[in-house]
Amino acid sequence: MDKKDSIQKVAKELGPEAGRFYQNMIEDFQKGYADYVFQTDKIETQARRLKHLGKS
């Protein structure tokens, strides 16, 4: 998955309000969050990380 795809996937999974906030972030921050979420192949871990990002 390339950076642009991973950024779009994170934005989609966060929910409407958090997704809009995420898309308005500086691009380097978006990449950092996407890298953090997808640095593991475990779906459960990715889901947990997305859940925590959505809360903050």
All structural domains of the chain with their residue ranges: 3-55
Q: What is the pLDDT of residue 47?
A: 93
- Between the alpha carbon of residue 43 and those of residues 25, 27, 39, the distances in Å are 25, 24, 11
pLDDT at 41: 93
Q: What pLDDT score was predicted for residue 3?
A: 74
User: What's this model's pTM, rounded to 2 decimal places?
Assistant: 0.77
- pLDDT for the residue 24: 92
Find out whether 40 and 46 touch, Cβ atoms under 8 Å: yes
Average confidence (pLDDT) per 10 residues, the chain, 56 residues:
83 89 91 93 94 84
CA 42 to chain centre: 15
Q: According to the model, what pLDDT value does residue 33 have?
A: 92
At 31 the pLDDT is 92
- Answer for the pair 24, 14: CB distance below 8 angstroms, yes or no: no
